[in-house]
Structure 1
Amino acid sequence: MNIVLWILAGALALAFTAGALAQLTKTKESYRRLGRSQYWVDDFTSGQIKAIGTTKLIGATGLILPAALGIVPVLTPVAACGLALFMSGAATTRFRRMEWNYLLGDLVFLGLFAFLAWGRFVLEPF
C-alpha cells in the first residue's frame, strides 16, 4: 500500500503543479482559452486566480517534500486534507455554474485526496 500511496501522491502532485504553473504564468484570458473546462475563471479576478495557483503549488509540494525529506512527514496527509477541502471549493464553483460534467472530475480529485489522507493517517503512516 505504501507504493500505491507514493504513486498516487506523485501523480496528484504532478497534475496540480502543472495546473498551478499554468495559472501562475498565464494571463486570465489566455488561461481561459485553454479549454471549455476553464470558464470558471470568469467568476474570479486575475489576482484570485494567481492565489488559487499558489495554493495548488503549495499543496502539491506538501504532498511530496515533507515525506521525501523526512521533515515533519505528517504534513503530507495534512496537505492532502487541505487539497480535498480546496477541491470541495472547486466542486462548489462547478455546482453553482451548473457544469455537471466538470463537477464529476472535481469530485474524483476530492476523493483521491481524501483517500491519500486516510492512507497516510491510518493505513501507512510515516
Structure 2
Amino acid sequence: MDLALWIGAGLLAVVALTGGVSKAFVRQEKLAAAPGGEWTADAAPGFVKGLGALELLAALGLVLPAVTGIAPALVPVTAVCWCC
C-alpha cells in the first residue's frame, strides 16, 4: 500500500507541478493560444497566476510531508482534496 501511495502521489505531484509552472510562469497570451487554455483569455491575470501558485503548493503538499516525516498523514488528504 505504501508503494501505491508513493506512485499515486508522485503522479499527481507531476501533474500539479506541470500545471502550476505553466500557469505561474507562462504569459497569459500564450496560455490562451494553447489547446485547452482558451479559458485564460477571459480570466484576470492574477487569478491565473494564483491558480498556478496553488497548484505548485499542491505538488509540494503531495510529496514533502512524506519525505520529511512531518505529518505524513497529510499526503492522502492533499491527494483527495486536489482530485475532488
Query: What interval of TM-score do these two structures reach, taking the shorter chain for normalisation?
Result: 0.7 to 0.9
Runs of 4+ residues over 2 Å off in structure 1: none
Amino acid at match of 2:66: A
The alpha carbon displacement at 1:17 in A equals 0.2
**Please, what is the CA RMSD of the aligned residues?**
1.4
The alpha carbon displacement at 1:34 in A equals 2.3
Gaps of 5+ in 1: 86-126
- Residues 32-111 of structure 1 mapped to structure 2, 5 A cutoff: 32-35=32-35, 37-85=36-84
Tell me if the contact between 1:27 and 1:46 (Cα under 8 Å) persists in the aligned partners. Answer: no
Give the percent of matched residue pairs that are identical in Structure 1 and Structure 2. Answer: 35
TM-score after normalising by structure 2: 0.88
Amino acid at match of 2:76: P
Distance 1:62 1:68 in 2: 10
Q: Deviations over 1:22-54 (max 9, x none)?
A: 11111111112222x111213421100001001
1:24 and 2:37 matched: no
Distance 1:74 1:3 in 2: 15
Tell me if the contact between 2:29 and 2:41 (Cα under 8 Å) persists in the aligned partners. Answer: no
Does the residue aligned with 2:19 lie in a helix, a strand or coil?
helix
Distance 1:81 1:55 in 2: 15
Does the residue aligned with 2:24 lie in a helix, a strand or coil?
helix
Tell me if the contact between 1:23 and 1:53 (Cα under 8 Å) persists in the aligned partners. Answer: yes
Instruction: Show the counterpart of 1:107.
Output: none
Matched length: 84
